[in-house]
Chain A
């Protein structure tokens, strides 16, 4: 049951809302938990056991860590500083062991379902390289829905309990709901326990206001997905599957269209997710902040899939850059070079770890690793050259705040993103490289007009696409200027408000790319 399906929007969600609202406050969170497990079951059937095991494992580990912490506090009560340190270290080690076991337990599931096949292929290739007549075989299994997302949430919970940022939860049901909450289950965002724990279990009533506000947001998400993403999908599918038949500009247009499609699909899903949260008065964190207004790649990743970026920052970047090993390397460099070089190296190592994992998180394939390293290089090179560029601009007397310079940076960033997404969508790394080769070596506009009209989109589709994109663009500009459109709209009279809603609903029904000749985009991030 996709979030974009009629079944979800007009049947599942309203039913949950009705049952949730008629039952007493105490039971409301249980309604959400039951709905979430039902939602999971509809997707992944009895793989449900794995999300339960993850919840149970972090629950037990959390409680155990809490117990160790309590024991430690009691023991160090009357000790002097030196003995305190010894006892603290001893208990820290104990806590660490629990943390590591629990993380390994959760990551093993993820590895088994998602990466075993990929690493098996690598191993077989290596064996083949040495002419060894050995081949590993594995049976492929369907992964539980949202495993990449809820595993990261489980790890963040464990790490936060370990670091003392949050108290270990003593109610297993709360943790079960945290990992499985149905709006965030399939494509995130990756929430933190302390962000959602109070609201998710508060059992606040769905009000007329929260219902309307939530469904407004859901409608906007539907518009982005059904009018734009699904329409572009026709074109994108052909280009990426049969790129060798096309010239450079068409292949590049395919990459641009795919990037737009991905944004519309993913951010549209987030609108539905956040909208669903709003209905239940649960604040789900935003996952996008107008990413195409970014002036460099780092900024882009702080605006695109924000919760994933923050997760990597908190649980990979900082731990790696502050680890003893990296500190040692950095100190060595400090002695030979200077502070800047040493901090660049320190950050570089942590960045490398982040982007290796980020690439792999997106998929078990070489193209995803390439996708990760591509962004690592862009960010790392950007960090190296930034002071020199600032100096150069000063010499050339170019104001960095100048509109045209900003626009230039935005366009440059977008171009780099299009290339990255080309590899991300390509059927394999070699397909991605071949597509790039076509773009660079066969950049001829001969027959361009004819070809773009023969790939499933007619001129009227392009007109609708242009209007729809303009609409989303205007909303993005207003959001960028911190103007709360929905708040302003809610202050208008009923005629204006309802006209806007009808226009949005009817444009989805009439201009949506569904039915004969269209293939809707599958939930892209649900595969990760």
Chain B
């Protein structure tokens, strides 16, 4: 009996310690508004309601390639990357549903790479993942120790209150890529699976119902993107009468894969993301739908976030 009590006490103290550390490492603003549970899964909930102009949905290509802070600095347009590594289309659908709870973006970009990703894991894996993310958010945010340790503590306290990257992951690593058949023309498109297409249909309807312009985008990706997938996405865009931005055929952004990729052509690094972010910012600016909010006092936190962002990347 004594040992059972000791064991329970040990676990209880461990949970208390984890919670204390969580309070330090989790984004403060978000916790205040939405509590610990939602915070851990959706960073965008930290933003003030109806302040995001455009949301970019997708996988690691998005969080590696588009830096909302760069777009803010250049055009004063608020964007947010709602992206997860190896995201599945059903997760994208769920993410959009969460986004429109607190935001009303005019434009949603949807990374086409997600259309071709099939789930490899069993359903229980996702339930399990969701569970630990929900009830043990420290697992998701543990790496925030880098903001506190070996740095100026006062600075870092303030830093953690602001969502600095807006979903972007800052990676400077450079691993040159070389692929000879990148976007080599083929005649036949790669078809999208029935299940993924039905989820895309749901996404389309959700955007329509909420008066959101849905744009399909293929961001630069030399390794897993190809011409057949491009044709498949083009066909889908035509079918739904959507705008499709392709940034792979003929390399319109002039991505230098030797210096602007973090992993030999799969993802852009910081240098490459500057080009893509500039393109997205310019595109949004040219739609004429958005105002420059850099001097708007209600968006002061974005300017502050940019200062921290700049400080961090310098």
Contact = CB atoms under 8 A, between A and B. Distances in A.
Interface stretch (A238-246, A322-330, A334-342): A238-246
Q: Is the interface of B mostly helix, strand, loop or mixed?
A: helix
Nearest to A460: B146
A242 B18 contact: no
A517 B175 contact: no
B175 A502 contact: no
A104 interface: no
B169 interface: yes
Given A238-B173, A455-B173, A505 B14 contact: yes
Contacts of B176: 242, 245
Interface stretch (A153-161, A507-515, A520-528): A507-515
B150 A242 contact: no
Given A456-B173, A510-B145, A515-B142, 13 more contacts: A241-B175, A454-B172, A459-B150, A460-B150, A463-B149, A498-B10, A502-B13, A506-B21, A509-B139, A510-B21, A510-B142, A512-B142, A517-B143
B280 interface: no
Interface string B161-188: 0000000010111111000000000000
B175 A238 contact: yes
A516 interface: yes
Contacts of A512: 142
Contact of B18 (A454, A460, A463, A506): A506
A177 B17 CA distance: 40
Q: Which of A460, A501, A510 has the most CB of B within 10 A?
A: A510
A318 B151 CA distance: 59
Contact of A460 (B63, B149, B169, B172): B149
Interface string A446-463: 000000001110111001
Interface in A205-242: 208, 238, 241-242
Nearest to A511: B145
Interface in B247-285: 264
A6 interface: yes
A463 B264 contact: no
B169 A517 contact: yes
B40 to A, nearest CB: 12
Nearest to B140: A515
B138 interface: yes
B132 A6 contact: yes
A506 B264 contact: no
A44 B286 CA distance: 55
21 contacts: A238-B173, A241-B175, A241-B264, A245-B175, A245-B176, A454-B174, A463-B149, A498-B10, A498-B13, A502-B14, A506-B18, A509-B18, A509-B139, A510-B21, A510-B138, A511-B145, A514-B139, A515-B139, A515-B140, A516-B63, A516-B143
Given A460-B146, A460-B150, A506 B17 contact: yes
B211 interface: no
Interface in A337-373: none
A454 B173 contact: yes
Contact of B169 (A241, A245, A516): A516
B50 interface: no
Interface string A48-84: 0000000000000000000000000000000000000
B85 interface: yes
The 9 closest A-B pairs by CB, nearest first: A208-B3, A460-B146, A456-B173, A510-B142, A510-B145, A242-B175, A238-B175, A460-B150, A454-B173
A458 B142 CA distance: 16
Contacts of B7: 208
Nearest to B4: A208
A454 B171 CA distance: 9
A493 to B, nearest CB: 13
Given A463-B150, A498-B10, A498-B13, A509 B142 contact: yes
B interface, how many residues as a size bin?
A: 20 to 34
Nearest to A6: B132
A14 to B, nearest CB: 12
Contacts of B175: 238, 241-242, 245
A456 B171 CA distance: 8
Q: Which of B3, B132, B138, B173 has the most CB of A within 10 A?
A: B173
B95 to A, nearest CB: 16
A505 B15 CA distance: 11
Nearest to A512: B142
Interface in A471-528: 498, 501-502, 505-506, 509-512, 514-517
Contacts of A455: 173
Contacts of A460: 146, 149-150
A515 B7 CA distance: 29
A516 B145 CA distance: 14
B125 to A, nearest CB: 10
Contacts of A7: 128
A506 B25 CA distance: 13
Contact of B146 (A245, A458, A502): A458
Contacts of A509: 18, 21, 138-139, 142
A405 to B, nearest CB: 38
Contacts of A517: 143, 169, 171
A77 B229 CA distance: 81
B1 to A, nearest CB: 11
B264 A242 contact: yes
Contacts of A505: 14
Contacts of B132: 6
A242 B262 CA distance: 12
Contacts of A6: 132
Interface string B107-150: 00000000000000000000010001000001110110110011
Nearest to B24: A510
Contacts of A238: 173, 175
Contacts of A454: 172-174
B79 to A, nearest CB: 19
A498 B16 CA distance: 14
B17 A502 contact: yes
Nearest to B262: A456
A515 B172 contact: no
B176 to A, nearest CB: 6
Nearest to B146: A460
A242 B7 CA distance: 49
A517 B173 CA distance: 11
Q: Which of A459, A498, A514, A517 has the most CB of B within 10 A?
A: A517
A165 to B, nearest CB: 41
Interface string B38-75: 00000000000000000000000001000000000000
Contacts of A502: 13-14, 17
A238 to B, nearest CB: 6
A370 B173 CA distance: 32
A498 B3 CA distance: 14
A16 to B, nearest CB: 18
Contacts of B18: 506, 509
B180 to A, nearest CB: 17
Contact of A516 (B3, B14, B85, B150): B85
Nearest to A503: B17
Contacts of B150: 459-460, 463
A514 B140 CA distance: 9
Nearest to B85: A516
A502 B16 CA distance: 11
Nearest to B269: A454
A449 B138 CA distance: 32
B230 to A, nearest CB: 27
